[in-house]
Amino acid sequence: MFNRIKKDVQVVFDRDPAARSVFEVLFCYAGLHAIWMYRIAHYFYKRGWILIPRMISNFARFLTGIEIHPGATIGEGLFIDHGTGVVIGETTEIGDNVTLYQGVTLGGTGKEKGKRHPTIGNNVVVATGAKVLGSFTVGENSKIGAGSVVLREVPPNSTVVGIPGKVVIHDGEKINSFTPEGIDLEHGTLPDPEAEMLLCMQRNLTRLELRVAQLEKELQKNDTSNL
């Protein structure tokens, strides 16, 4: 138990530059408290209990603002930073060394039974306010941009932004240097596909304007020569 707590505290120091002391992390990090209470609830849930795990989950939500269903499966090294509003659904599966920021939802899209929540691979970063909805996989080492709504599978080593989420970087294109742990936390430096599309349209309009101006000059020249 103490080794697990030590690892959890170290995860906070590895990924949050604001962490100053062990006591601060132990007493002031709501994401850490939510994970610890989830583990207790999950222990009972796996043994067939229903009411007690849900009561623990609701109590954790009341204390931390983070709702983790006791049926979710969570790997090692999960870090929930400023976790208010984070929701993790019952059939969600989270790999190792995943980072979630405030307002993230790992949810379903309807009333279907069985596996209805996403599977999040290792070393994934899900930025502020992002929604990952449905039973599909987000591949390892991927990043979900702030405010994105992801509704379909994400291949490994990808960056997704937008509503609905679109893969804008995949496998081989480096954005920024990685942390020693291999997790790229620079979720604020992402491509903007809408801005790129507008710039492309602006360039095309400029070309058209130049072409129209050129044609007008040629017409004027022809008119003058005919006179």
CA-nearest of 112, 119, 121 to 77 is: 121
From the centroid of its chain, how far is CA 174? 18
**Lowest-pLDDT choice from 20-34, 132-146, 203-217:** 203-217
Strands (E), the chain: 67-68, 73-74, 79-81, 87-88, 93-94, 99-101, 105-107, 119-120, 125-126, 131-133, 137-138, 143-144, 149-150, 158-161, 166-170
Residue 191, pLDDT score? 60
Tens digit of pLDDT for each residue in 211-223? 888 888 888 877 7
Tens digit of pLDDT for each residue in 164-191? 888 888 765 544 444 444 555 555 555 6
What integer is the mean pLDDT of 93-105? 94
From the centroid of its chain, how far is CA 104? 7
Whole-model pTM: value is 0.74
CB count in 10 Å sphere of residue 226 = 6
Fold topology of 2-190: UDP N-Acetylglucosamine Acyltransferase; domain 1 (2.160.10)
What integer is the mean pLDDT of 147-154? 92
Tens digit of pLDDT for each residue in 23-61? 999 999 999 999 999 999 999 999 999 999 999 999 999
Tens digit of pLDDT for each residue in 153-167? 999 999 998 888 888
Please give the residue that has the higher pLDDT: either 50 or 111.
Answer: 50
Break the chain into its structural domains and give their ranges: 2-190, 192-227
The single-letter code of the amino acid at 163 is: I
What integer is the mean pLDDT of 81-98? 93
Neighbouring C-alpha atoms within 13 Å toward the C-beta of 62:
6
